[in-house]
Homo-oligomer: A and B are copies of this chain.
Amino acid sequence: MLDEEKITKAIVEEFMESFLDHTQIEAGLAGAGPANLVAAKKLAEEGVKTVVFERKLNVGGGMWGGGMMFPRIVVQKEATRILDDFGVNYHEHGEGYYVANSIESVGRLASETVKAGAEIYNLIKVEDVLIREKDRISGLVLNWSAVDRAGLHVDPLAVKTDVVIDGTGHDAEVCEIIEEKIPGADFSVKGEKPMWAEVGEKALMDTTKEIYPGLIVSGMAANAVSEAPRMGPIFGGMLLSGEKAAEIALSKL
| Interface residue A154 (Cβ < 8 Å from any Cβ of B) | yes
- Whether A146 touches B150, Cβ cut-off 8 Å, given contacts A8-B67, A12-B19, is yes
A101 to B111, CA, bound (A): 9
- Interface secondary structure of A, over-half rule: mixed
Kindly state the interface size class of chain A when it binds its partner.
35 or more
Residue of B88, B151, B197 near A3 (CB, 8 A) is B197
- Whether A23 touches B8, Cβ cut-off 8 Å, given contacts A58-B58, A103-B114, A156-B67, is yes
Are A94 and B10 within 8 A (Cβ)?
Answer: yes
Task: Considering the complex, give the chain B residue whose CB is closest to the CB of A71.
Answer: B122
Number of copies: 8
| Interface residue A248 (Cβ < 8 Å from any Cβ of B) | no
Are B2 and A234 within 8 A (Cβ)?
Answer: yes
Are A123 and B152 within 8 A (Cβ)?
Answer: yes
Give every chain B residue within 8 A of A10 (Cβ-Cβ): 72, 74, 93-94, 97, 99
Give every chain B residue within 8 A of A24 (Cβ-Cβ): 5
Are B197 and A4 within 8 A (Cβ)?
Answer: yes
Interface residues of A in 86-105 (CB under 8 A from B): 87-89, 93-94, 96-97, 99, 101, 103-105
Give every chain B residue within 8 A of A182 (Cβ-Cβ): 193-194
Task: Considering the complex, give the chain B residue whose CB is closest to the CB of A66.
Answer: B11
